[in-house]
A and B are shown apart, each in its own frame.
Chain A
Amino acid sequence: MAWLSPLFAAAATLVVGFVLFSILGKNPFAAFYIFFVKPVDNLYGVGELLLKASPLMLCAIGLAAGYRANVWNIGAEGQLTLGAICGGGVALALGDTPSAWALPLMLVAGAVGGGAWAAIPAWLKTRFNANEILVSLMLVYVASFVLSWLVHGPWRDPEGFNFPQSRLFPDALLLPNLVPGTRLNAAFLLALAVVAAAWVFMRRSLSGFQMRVAGLAPAAANYAGISARRTVWLGMLIGGATAGIAGVDEAAGPIGQLLPSMSPGYGFAAIIVAFVGRLHPLGILLASLLMSLLYLGGEAAQIALALPSAVTGLFQGTLLFFLLAADVFINFRLRLRYAAAAIGAGPAAMEKTA
C-alpha cells in the first residue's frame, strides 16, 4: 500500500500544476503538454530525461541508505560539489595524457571527496553529538565557496577571457556517449549499477540489515549491540560517496569543465526523490525520472511559456507536501468524529481553582 501515496502525490501535484497554469493565464492543456509531454516526445528528449535522472538517482539512493537508519544527511548538494572538485581536479591534473585509468580515477576521487565532505558531519555527530542536519547543510555553503574560489583563482582557465571557469576537460576524460544523437552518457549505467549495489547492500548484507534496524527501532538496535556510531558513519559515507560520483558525472558529462555552480539543486531535489521513492531502490529509480521530467518541463516552460524556471522548485516542494499528507491516509484509518467537549473544559476548570 505504501506505493499509493507517491502516486497520489504525483497526481495531486499535476492537478496543482493545472490550476497554477490556469491562474497564470496559460491554456492549461497546452501548458501541460509543453511541460510534461513535449520534452520527452523525441529521442533527444528521452536522452535528457535519463541524463538528468542519473545524478538525482545517485544522490537519492545514498541519502536513502542514511534515512533508513535515521541519519539525516541533507548536504548532498555540497557533497556533489566536492565530488566535482576532486574528480575535476584529477582531470585538470592529468591534462592531455589519456589513459584508460583516468576516468575510473576521477570517479574514485569524486567518491572519496564527497565521502570526506560527509565524514565531517559524521565525525562531529559521533564525537561531539552535533546535529548532522545543520552541519551537513552548512557545509553546502562552504563547498560552494570552495568551488567558487577555485574557478575564480587557482584553477581558472588562463585562456578563458577571465570568466570564472576551469579549462575544458579533454575528450578522453569525458564519460562516453551511449546513444548517438543524444547527450546520454555512461553516467546513467553507472547510476543504475550503484542503485543495484545499494539494493543488495541494504537488503542482503548484515550492515544493511543493522542500519534498517537502527532506523526502525533504535532501542532494539542498541540492545542487540548494533553500534550507533557505525550506523551514522555508514549512512553518511554512503550518501557522500554517491553524491560525489554524481558530481564527477556532471563535471565529466554535460558540463565538461568546472563552473561556479555544478548542479541546479540536484542534491536537494534528491531528498524529495528519496522520500517519494519510499527509500526503496526501485521507487527511487521511478521518482528520479519524475523529478528529471520536472526539471525538463521547467526549462521548456521557461522557453515556450515565458514561465520562470523556479516553477520546478515549486512543483518539487508541492510533491513532497502531498506525499507526506497522503502517507497519513495510507498509514492510518481516519474517522471523522466530534471532539469530546470535556477536553476543552479541563483547563478552564483549572484556571478557576488556581
Chain B
Amino acid sequence: MMEHVATLVALTLAAGTPLVLAGAGELVTERSGVLNLGVEGMMLVGAVVAFMVAATTKAPWLGIGAGMLAGAALSLVFGVLTLSLMANQVAAGLALSLFGVGLSAFVGLGYVSVVIEGVQPLAISGLSDLPFLGKLLFAHSPLVYVSLALVAAVQWFLFRTRAGLIVRAVGESPEAAHAIGYPVIAIRYAAVAFGGACAGLAGAYLAVAYTPLWTEGMTAGRGWIALALVVFATWKPWRVLAGAYLFGAVTLAQFQAQALGVAVPSQLLSMLPYLATILVLTLISRDAATIRLNAPAALGKPYHPDA
C-alpha cells in the first residue's frame, strides 16, 4: 500500500514537471511585463531539438542543453518582434506557437520512430532502494529535482534579490523603471530569453526523459496549460508547483481509471486535464481583485523608451 502511494506520488511529480519548468519560466517573463503566448511552440522546438541532438550524439544531457538553447533562440524572435519592433504581444505569441508547431514537425520528421536512451531516473545505491522513502524522494528523474530547484531559484531571485526587484519594477511600470535609468528593453529581453530556455527545457524533458520519444505535437497543449498555471499561481512561483502537480494528478487519474477498468470511454477521461485547466482558471479569475492586485500592471503592454 505504502509503496503504491509512493509510486503514485512519483508519477504525479513526473507528469507535473514539464508544467513546473515552463510555468516558472513564463512567470519570470510575465513578471517583466511581457506576455509570451508562444510557450507551446517553444516547448515543441525544445523537444525536437533535444531529441535530435540526443539521438545523434547519444548524450541525452547534451540534448537537454540544446533544447534549452533552441527555446531561448526562438523566444528571441518573439523578443525582436515585440520589444524592438513593438508588435502586438498576443499576435506575436500566437505566431510563435503556430510557427513552433510547424517547425518542429518539419525538422523532426526523420526522428519519429527513432529510439533513444533517455535521461535515466536517479539510482543512488542505498538511498533509492529504501522502502517507501526511496521511491518517494530519491528515485525521480534528475530533471524533477532541477524543476524544484528552478522554482526555489525563481522565488529567491524575484523576491530576495535586487535584480529581481528591478525585473518586477519593469513589469509594474516600465516608465518609472526607465526614468530611474534601468534598461527596460534589455531586462525584458533577458526575461523573455529565460522563459524561452525554460520552455525549451520543459520540452526537452518530455522528449528525452519523460517519454523518451518524439512525435509531432507531443506537448499536447501543455504549453497553454503552463500559461494558465501562471494565472492560477497569481504570479507567485511556489503556487506554480501546486498547480502543476494538481494537473499531474489529473493526468494520472485518467490512466489509473483506465487501469482500474472504470467504464468511461478513454476519450472522456483524456479531456480531464483540459477541463481542469478551464475550471481552475475560472475559479481563480472569478476574484477580479486578486488578479488585479497580483498581475504585473504593465503585462502585455508594449513599451518604447522614446515613445
Contacts and interface: CB of A to CB of B under 8 A. Distances in A.
Interface of A: 72, 74, 120, 124, 128-131, 133-135, 137-139, 141-142, 145-146, 148-149, 152-153, 268, 271-272, 275, 308, 310-318, 320-321, 324-325, 327-328, 332, 343-347, 349-350, 354
**Which of A74, A120, A142 has the most chain B CB atoms inside 10 A of its CB?**
A142
B281 interface: yes
Nearest to B102: A313
Contact of B87 (A310, A314, A324, A345): A324
Contacts of B90: 72, 133
Contact of B86 (A145, A313, A317, A328): A328
Contacts of B99: 314, 316-318, 320-321
Contact of B98 (A129, A320, A332): A320
Interface string B283-304: 1011010010000000000000
B183 interface: yes
User: Do most interface residues of chain A lie in helix, strand or loop, or is the interface mixed?
Assistant: helix
B253 interface: no
B103 A328 contact: no
Contacts of A142: 271, 274-275
Given A134-B228, A346-B180, A271 B98 contact: yes
B208 interface: no
Nearest to A121: B278
Nearest to A331: B86
B181 A343 contact: yes
B91 A275 contact: yes
Interface in B215-250: 216, 220-221, 224-225, 227-228, 231
A146 B269 CA distance: 11
A138 B277 contact: yes
B211 interface: no
Contacts of B162: 354
Nearest to A322: B95
B278 A310 contact: no
B304 to A, nearest CB: 9
**Which of A72, A141, A346 has the most chain B CB atoms inside 10 A of its CB?**
A141
9 contacts: A124-B282, A130-B285, A135-B281, A137-B224, A141-B274, A146-B267, A271-B98, A316-B99, A347-B181
B77 interface: yes
Contact of A310 (B41, B80, B106): B106
A310 B214 CA distance: 15
Contact of B291 (A74, A129, A310, A332): A129
A316 B288 CA distance: 36
A135 B94 contact: no
Contact of A139 (B81, B278, B285): B278
B95 A320 contact: yes
User: Do most interface residues of chain B lie in helix, strand or loop, or is the interface mixed?
Assistant: helix
A336 to B, nearest CB: 13
Given A149-B267, A314-B103, A327 B87 contact: yes
Contact of A325 (B87, B182, B281): B87
A237 to B, nearest CB: 18
Contact of A347 (B183, B267, B270): B183
Given A124-B285, A328-B85, A347-B180, 14 more contacts: A74-B94, A134-B228, A134-B277, A137-B221, A141-B220, A308-B109, A311-B106, A313-B98, A314-B102, A314-B103, A316-B102, A317-B99, A321-B92, A347-B181
Nearest to A275: B91
Contact of A149 (B81, B268, B277): B268
B81 A141 contact: no
B31 to A, nearest CB: 17
B196 interface: no
Contacts of A350: 180-181
A128 B231 contact: no
B77 A321 contact: yes
Contacts of B85: 324-325, 328
Interface string B70-102: 000000010011000111101110111011111
A148 B281 CA distance: 25
Contacts of B305: 343
A131 B95 contact: no
B105 A138 contact: no
A138 B274 contact: yes
A328 B81 CA distance: 9
A121 B219 CA distance: 23
A293 B224 CA distance: 29
A124 B279 CA distance: 10
A133 B277 contact: no
B98 A134 contact: no
B181 A345 contact: yes
Given A128-B286, A137-B224, A350-B180, A272 B98 contact: yes
- Kindly list the 3 A-B residue pairs having the minimum CB-CB distance in the complex, ordered from nearest: A346-B181, A313-B102, A317-B99
